[in-house]
Structure 1
Amino acid sequence: MMLAHTELRTRLQTICIVLVAMVVVVTAMKLAKGLLAPVTLGLIVGIVAAPGMRLLARLGIPRAVSASISLLFVGAATVLLIAGLGPIVMDLIGQVPRIEDEIRWWVIDASRAIRGLESVQIELEQSLAEDGKEVEAAMPSLLDALSMAPNFAAQLLTFAGTFFFFTLTQNEIYATVKGKAASLRQADKAVSHYFVTVAAINAGLGAAVFAAMTVIGVPNPILWGAAAFILNFVLYLGPVMLLVALAVVGFTEFNGAYALLPALAYLMLNMTEAQFVTPTLVGQRLQLNPLVVFLAILFGLWLWGPIGGIVSLPLLVWATAFMAHQPQPDPATDADLAPTQA
């Protein structure tokens, strides 16, 4: 009885120590966001670029040159993404006053249809006006942008340095991990295949959204196609953000039931992709629990913001593939390697 009590106490102490250690680690990761987030992003992008590095190595290109080419390619892709998203963000910000006016007119029309609510109408109009002032005050000023520039530049340099030196010395790093190099490479391969497959699916979704928005008559359809391609990498949350944005654009650009068409068209395309295309092309290779994926993305967003939302799913894929490709002990090999008896 005393022995069982001692074992139970030891087990509870171990659980408490593990929980405290997890809290300390998560807190440290959140406090070190400015350093760890770009470093992790650089490692993830380096893992995704590993097949290209191997291809360049087979062509006889020195690894330092290959790492430089990969860094230039990633930099050019980042500039293109920022250039594509910038007009969309600025357009949505510019729509804020127009959205306020639309909401104000809806409130006025609804209050006119119901007698005796004049006071409610006035209060709602005043609250909307105050909300508009708060939105304008929340908009980042030029001084705010300038104050954030050094931090952004530091994180960008951290990302670039991590990516370059990781791709340059990846073979040496994996060689130092005894007995795990094969599992690490299998995990890298799973992440690369996953990213390439999802990128191809998202490109098809972006093209379909571009075509649908063009037919409907939504302004800047190519930008909405680019947004669908980019935001679909952030599962669940990205499509919801774009759905809300298209609903807002629909109500500001069109009248009547036609205003629902942009959001409904995107919803149908996204559901087709999520329910049929992605499970067929990705689900057979890697099974991930949707709840685990959702919680991982939420945790990443809470921990490191947008960068956390981007790296959370690749990290989950990498960890799942790494655990699934652990080498199994071979009894025959173990017997051959066992020391002989004198």
Structure 2
Amino acid sequence: MLFILTIFAVGGIMMWARPVLAPMTFALVVGIVASPLADRLHDWGVPRIAVAAALLVLTSGALVLGFVLLEPLLNSMAARLPEIRAEIEGWVQSASGLVRGIETISNEIEQTVGASDADGAAPELPTVMDALWLAPDLGASVLIFAGTLFFFMLTRTDLYAAAGRFSGTLFQADRAVARYFLAVSIVNVALGVAVAVVMSVIGLNNAVLWGLAAGLLNFILYLGPLTILFGLLIVGMVQFNGAYSLLPPFAFLCLNLIEAQFVTPGFVGQRLRISPLAVFVAIVIGLWLWGPVGAIVALPLTLWLAVLLNARGPADRAT
């Protein structure tokens, strides 16, 4: 009973402290992934404060660049919500005839993004970047992320050294997770390029942006590919007619299956093998606790803990 109550207490605290813990944990995960580069620069004689500042600038710039590159795709999806609504109405009406439920959904969408002004002009939709910068507590989250990442990279060696006999295990876990994510990053870049090329051949609008989104969201196992698959299904139904509208999601599904079943296992190898159930549960819990940030950090934390426990196992048995 004490164990069960502890789990509920920790979960409640993590959810209550989400504004602080989510950006802090995200910064620690980014620091762990970037740790081999920081160690290499420090070995070359670069001061730790310069290494920490450089990695902070690089990682922050990469995150901002990702938002900027994906903004046109997200804005395009938001601008076409009325078309998507009408298309979904047709699907559901022809499939089940639930007209009353569709009218309720339609009214809700019209009140938010599809309604027209009194003069008949459609209201201007805010951009994604406007929503991000106007979001409450965004500045505090950015400050927490930047401060945690900077000071973690600055004092990481000292912090791990304070762990005594476990310091070597901590460094080993960092290196293993970083190597794994380097390999996965190469695979995801290749997947993004393949998706962009295939969608261009099909004739889908914003094919390059869809490839970029596929490569980025593939870091979130299960949920990321499902999001892209659903998005391509909606866009395909809106842009094309007939069976051809199913070609974009079908093509992405084939590419994703090839990547998941053959490319990633062959390229990444058997490193950091974790039960798929454990990965899925970790991602679901992370999404429930901290939203999208939780889904992003769930897998790195699970991998880091798995390597940490596996590395400690033989040493503990030897003692």
TM-score, scaled to structure 2:
0.89
CA distances 1:253-302 after superposition (whole Å, capped 9, x unpaired): 11111111100110000000011111222341121111110110000000
Residue of structure 1 in register with 2:32 after alignment: 47
Partner of 1:63: 48
1:35-74 per-residue CA deviation (whole Å, 9 max, x = no partner) reads 0111111111111111111121122111111111111101
Distance of 1:272 and 1:129 partners within structure 2 = 38
Offset at 1:136?
A: 3.0
Q: Percent identity?
A: 43
- Which residue of structure 1 aligns with residue 113 of structure 2? 136
| Alignment equivalent of 1:175, drawn from 161, 183, 186 | 161
- Structure 1: give runs of 5+ residues left out of the alignment: 1-15, 112-116, 335-342
What secondary structure is seen at the aligned counterpart in 2 of 1:328? helix
* Residue equivalent to 1:328: 315
1:18 CA drift (Å): 1.6
**1:79 aligned to which of 64, 84, 100:** 64
2:15 paired residue among 23, 30, 35: 30
SS in 2 for 1:20: helix
Would you say how many aligned residue pairs link Structure 1 and Structure 2? 308
Distance 1:216 1:141, change over 3 A: closer
Q: Distance in 1 between matches of 2:297 and 2:102?
A: 42
Taking a change above 3 Å as real, the CA distance of residues 270 and 173 of structure 1, as seen in their structure-2 partners, is: same
1:106-185 equivalent positions in 2, closer than 5 A:
110=94, 123=100, 126-127=103-104, 129-136=106-113, 145=131, 148-185=134-171
The structure with the largest alpha-carbon Rg is 1
Q: 1:125, 1:27 → 2: CA distance? A: 36
Aligned to 2:119: none
Structure 2 residue runs without a partner (length 5+): 116-123
Q: Which residue of 1 aligns with 2:121?
A: none
Change (3 A) 1:150 1:105: closer
| CA displacement at 1:101 relative to structure 2 | 2.4
Distance 1:235 1:122, change over 3 A: closer
TM-aligned CA distance change 1:147 to 1:191, over 3 Å? closer
Does structure 2 retain, via aligned residues, the 8 Å contact 1:42–1:162? yes
Q: Distance in 2 between matches of 1:137 and 1:21?
A: 46
TM-score (structure 1 length as normaliser): 0.83
Contact 1:104 1:128 (8 Å CA) reproduced: no
Answer with 83-92 or 128-137: which moved more: 128-137
Aligned residue among 177, 189, 193 for 1:207 = 193
- Residues 70-122 of structure 1 show CA distances to partners (whole Å, capped at 9, x for unaligned) of 111011101111012211211111121011223445577x49xxxxx9xx687
Deviates more, 1:221-230 or 1:121-130: 121-130
Give the root-mean-square deviation of aligned CA atoms. Answer: 2.6
Query: Residues 218, 151 of structure 1: CA spacing in aligned structure 2 closer, same or farther, 3 A cutoff?
Result: same
1:258 is matched with 244
d(CA) in 1 for partners of 2:171 and 2:133? Answer: 41
2:212 corresponds to 1:226 = yes
Cα distance, 1:141–1:213 mapped onto 2, change above 3 Å? closer
Letter in 1 for 2:85: E
Asked if the contact 1:183–1:322 (Cα under 8 Å) also holds between the matched residues in 2, the reply is: yes
Structure 1 residue 177 displacement after superposition: 0.6
Distance 1:86 1:126, change over 3 A: same
Once structures 1 and 2 are overlaid, which stretch shifts more, 85-94 or 205-214? 85-94
Matched, 1:285 2:264: no
Structure 1 residue ranges (4+ consecutive) displaced by more than 6 angstroms after TM superposition: 137-142
CA contact (8 A) 2:27 2:146 kept: yes
